Amino acid sequence: MKRYIFSVALSGLAMTGQAQAASSCPPGFAMLQASDTCVRISGQVRSETLVGSSRLRASDSVKTQAGGRVRLDVRKQTEYGPVRGVISVGNLGR
Instruction: Give the pLDDT score at 93.
Output: 65
Instruction: Give the pLDDT score at 50.
Output: 84
Instruction: Give the pLDDT score at 20.
Output: 41
Q: Low-confidence residues of the chain, pLDDT below 70? A: 1-23, 56-58, 93-94
20: domain range? 2-91
* Secondary structure (3-state) at 38: strand
The count of domains in the chain is 1
**b/e burial code for range 69-79 (CB count within 10 A of at least 16 → b):** ebbbbbbeeee
Task: Please list the alpha-helical segments (H only) found in the chain.
Answer: 2-16
pLDDT in tens, 30-42: 999 888 899 999 9
C-alpha distance across the termini of the chain, in Å: 20
CB 73 within 8 A of CB 86: yes
Instruction: Give the pLDDT score at 94.
Output: 57
